[in-house]
Structure 1
Amino acid sequence: EYMVPSYFVRLEKMPLSQNGKVDRKALTEPEGSINTSMEYVEPSCDEEHIMAEIWKKVLGLARVGINDDFFELGGDSIKAIQVVSLLAGEGLTIEVKDILVHRTISKVILNVDNIQRSNDYEQGFIQGSFGFTPVVKWFFSQRFNNPNYFNQSILLELKKYMDIQKLKMAFVKIIEHHDALRVNYSHDRDEFFFNNGEITKDFDIETFNIVGLPPQKQENELIKIGMELKSGFDIKDGLLIKAAIIHLEDNDKLLITIHHLAVDGVSWRIILEDLFAAYEAIENNREVIMPNKTASLMDWYEKLLSIKDSEKLILEKGFWKKYSDFKFEFPMDFDTKDWSIASRSLVKGYLDKEKTEKLLNDANKVYNTSVEELLVTAIAKTVKEWTELNEFVIEMENNGRNIEGINISRTVGWFTAIYPLKISINSADTGEQIKQIKESIREVPQNGVGYGILKYLTEADTEIDERMTELRFNYLGRFDKESDNDIFSYSHLKTGSETCLTNTMTAKLEINCMVINNMFEIEIFYNEKAYKEETMSDFRDRYLRNLENIISYTVGSDEVYFTPSDFETLDMNQEELDSLFE
């Protein structure tokens, strides 16, 4: 629907450029005052005002009109989750897909029935037990030597002095509100349960002083402190969150580590936002008021069970079957049988703020793409150059929070969807490559959520493929004010491994991309016993070069190109679509 023109202008003939394409700059402008996606239209009704204010807050903008396109403003699926979460706090209930499909405030309100509903999810402490979700089954299928040490962590640079007692009180509020942080695993029953006995216990924040140490020794000590803190979990007993204050010369640091079973990328945004709000309220002697809870982990598990045998999931089996027999391997510098975390190394790379801004905005207009689609196109080009393969499979990760009929926009936990994506890259033309990758990603049903359900929750698909993933890719989205506010900001200092050194890697190459403080960042984890550092550095450099070329190519184009996924209601292939615009 969003592709249907709002205005039509009759022309004697279509102006063409030198290459025979439609010359958009020469098109006649419509007469009179009209509303287009480029013209600001202010909100009028209460719902529009609330949505516009929340879009402004999440996207960091001074002004948002009701016809402004969410993606052109820099939005993505994770930002959409944050919008849905904040709307729920204002009594407006929509789903993430409503934003992703309708894209403007006016069309969301026009197309969503019953937009104003009460939150009927349990607001007290969740009690009871629940089984394994797909990503948790994936976790246990890895048979880690030490499953207690598999974390996600963040190091925050404190911009001002934080009273440790008030900080403890803020963490207690976080733990009380977010039930996932109190979840434990019962080995006897092989299920998870909410350990609400932890609510009555004090939350301890350890303190460390490494002021005065030489720089290298200080760096080593910070890693040692980090790994000691991270290795202290027992998934069968106790909280799954820990924190420590580390005193350094320049300023203090706050290290927060959470077992991965209780957290994911979206969860971190929620936790950091709530930690800031809770501490600020306590510091100013105000009552800490948390936003309403959305669905619990138990609700989520029961929802997955309710759809695992649905007709929609059964129809997906044919789509995923084509991956089962596709086998390939990326080249390695050395053969090795040692895939322990102790052998894992990392190379990182960045785009400057100017290029990042283009990646998030203008680069996506020409082919109506998402940021993730351009990032995967750069991966495809790089792998093709590296391996000379035209077809291969990469494993994709996304937030997994997009099942209809349940709202988990403000639920802390691990909801990640992991699924294979087959890449075919036959053309040398950048534009054609973008189209191919865009369509490959969009033909995946339900953003890959169904793959995990079919693989891990249905009896018909119990066999687990134990081959190690060749390459896993994850775009974590943008971290803006959640990790940069008046109290703290993100720190790049190293705090040691996020998983036990005796655990096994889960992918030969693991690539994570994110935007932090308006700069694009890529991390490539690899086995130093399988790859030379220069090989991985070259891969990183090739990737960034390909990404920069894609950005330049798209930003430099004055034309717009469509693909079949832009017209979901039409049964039309790319060749037929191209013929309409010749």
Structure 2
Amino acid sequence: SFRTWAARLHAEARTRTDELSLWTRILEGNAQGPDSGGSGSGVRLDPAVDTFGTQGHLTLDLPPEVTEPLLTGVPAAFHGRVNDVLLAGLALAVTRCTGRESVLIDLEGHGREEVFPGVDLSRTVGWFTTMYPVRLDAGPADWSDLSGPTAGRAIKRVKEQLRAIPDNGIGYGLLRHLDPDASARLGAYPVPELAFNYLGRVDAATGTDWSPAAEADAAGGGHAPGLALPHALEVNALTRDTPEGPRLRATWSWAGRLYTEEQVRALAEAWFTALTGLSSHTGGGLTPSDLLVPISQEEIDAFAAELDAEWSAR
């Protein structure tokens, strides 16, 4: 039951105190987000002013020929997940637009993590969302050739940065909300300006099992206009299977006081430009989290290069 799950989470929070140093390291330097001026001005949300009633929205779609490899071939080539590729592109875009080396993002997850032996949530009704901060550094980028070495380097780096987060980030919420001492420390940090959520893949046709209702787009999120915004900028992405093929649809929402539509559109288009480059990357490879022995990415790449050279010589 949801009640049993909640009780187990309270007990689990007391066992997660060793993660506190990880979360504080991630949160330090919060000014490195995509602030409204792109200059680290530190402008923050005002809950009395920045409400859902002042929020702007922009929705863009990626065509099927770009979306399909982003969901299938590219993640598989890197032994990764769709989020590894999408977030690598987002980190590249924020770096491009702000000039910073890293970006701090609040990442939303499904929350149904397998952290308790013998616990099965497959028949439990409830909203199990987790929200946790990640700091991503995609490395240097050549924007004239995003499908080349830039793509491989960015995806590998971001993949490893995400894998360094234990249990898909569920520990952050446990410490932030259920442990008094940790809550005081983590609560002292400002909320990351940018939030990202990939909602998965659905059939765009109506009338099929588990397809969105016809009125889903019109219904929106159902937020009261006076409710305070949780983030200055949010990206909610969803893949819709259409007769022409899968299309990635991204909706950007922002605090009207802190951003203009032109600023958000520039960042959104930079993200799609980065994803288009990543989608045509023909490489791949292993990263340290794929292996059972301690080894660096440089050692993995060097070993792969030796194997390629030996194979080519035959």
Under a length normalisation based on structure 2, what TM-score does the superposition of the two structures give?
0.82
Matched-pair contact (CA < 8 Å) for 1:469–1:506: no
Q: Secondary structure at the match of 1:439?
A: helix
1:503 Cα deviation (Å)? 0.9
Distance in 1 of aligned mates of 2:174 and 2:196: 20
Give the structure 2 partner of residue 431 of structure 1.
152
Deviations along 1:186-245, whole A, 9 cap, x unmatched? Answer: xxxxxxxxxxxxxxxxxxxxxxxxxxxxxxxxxxxxxxxxxxxxxxxxxxxxxxxxxxxx
The amino acid that maps onto 1:427 is P
The amino acid that maps onto 1:364 is P
Q: Which of 1 and 2 has greater Rg? A: 1
Give the structure 1 partner of residue 310 of structure 2.
none
Quick check: 1:509 aligned with 2:220? no
Given candidates 511, 527, 544, the residue that maps to 2:255 is 527
Give the structure 2 partner of residue 408 of structure 1.
121
Deviant stretches of 4+, over 6 Å: none
1:544 Cα deviation (Å)? 1.1
Q: Secondary structure at the match of 1:331?
A: coil
Matched-pair contact (CA < 8 Å) for 1:468–1:508: no
Give the structure 1 partner of residue 3 of structure 2.
298
Give the structure 2 partner of residue 382 of structure 1.
93
How has the CA–CA distance of structure 1 residues 493 and 458 changed in structure 2, closer, same or farther, with 3 Å as cutoff? closer
Distance in 2 of aligned mates of 1:487 and 1:390: 40
Structure 2 counterparts to residues 341-420 of structure 1, below 5 A: 341-402=52-113, 403-405=115-117, 406-420=119-133
Paired positions, count: 280
How has the CA–CA distance of structure 1 residues 503 and 532 changed in structure 2, closer, same or farther, with 3 Å as cutoff? same
Distance in 1 of aligned mates of 2:103 and 2:204: 37
1:466 Cα deviation (Å)? 6.4
Structure 2 counterparts to residues 516-555 of structure 1, below 5 A: 516-517=240-241, 518-553=246-281
Give the structure 2 partner of residue 36 of structure 1.
none
Matched-pair contact (CA < 8 Å) for 2:237–2:250: yes
Query: After alignment, is 457-466 or 572-581 more displaced?
Result: 457-466
Matched-pair contact (CA < 8 Å) for 2:75–2:84: no
CA RMSD of superposed structures (Å): 2.4
Distance in 2 of aligned mates of 1:466 and 1:427: 28
Matched-pair contact (CA < 8 Å) for 2:204–2:211: no
Given candidates 454, 459, 462, the residue that maps to 2:180 is 459
1:455 Cα deviation (Å)? 1.5
1:388 Cα deviation (Å)? 0.4
1:386 Cα deviation (Å)? 0.8
Distance in 2 of aligned mates of 1:488 and 1:400: 22
Distance in 1 of aligned mates of 2:2 and 2:86: 31
Matched-pair contact (CA < 8 Å) for 1:347–1:524: yes
Under a length normalisation based on structure 1, what TM-score does the superposition of the two structures give?
0.45
Distance in 2 of aligned mates of 1:473 and 1:320: 18
Matched-pair contact (CA < 8 Å) for 1:421–1:441: yes
Q: Secondary structure at the match of 2:133?
A: strand
Distance in 1 of aligned mates of 2:182 and 2:211: 46
Distance in 2 of aligned mates of 1:483 and 1:374: 29
1:401 Cα deviation (Å)? 0.6
Unpaired runs of at least 5, structure 2: 142-149, 306-314
1:580 Cα deviation (Å)? 1.9
How has the CA–CA distance of structure 1 residues 477 and 489 changed in structure 2, closer, same or farther, with 3 Å as cutoff? closer
How has the CA–CA distance of structure 1 residues 486 and 341 changed in structure 2, closer, same or farther, with 3 Å as cutoff? closer
Quick check: 1:323 aligned with 2:46? no
How has the CA–CA distance of structure 1 residues 419 and 496 changed in structure 2, closer, same or farther, with 3 Å as cutoff? closer
Give the structure 2 partner of residue 580 of structure 1.
303
Given candidates 12, 30, 35, the residue that maps to 1:307 is 12
Give the structure 1 partner of residue 289 of structure 2.
565
1:409 Cα deviation (Å)? 2.0
1:482 Cα deviation (Å)? 9.8
Matched-pair contact (CA < 8 Å) for 1:359–1:551: yes
How has the CA–CA distance of structure 1 residues 524 and 566 changed in structure 2, closer, same or farther, with 3 Å as cutoff? same
1:326 Cα deviation (Å)? 2.2
Distance in 1 of aligned mates of 2:74 and 2:303: 24
Q: Secondary structure at the match of 2:136?
A: strand
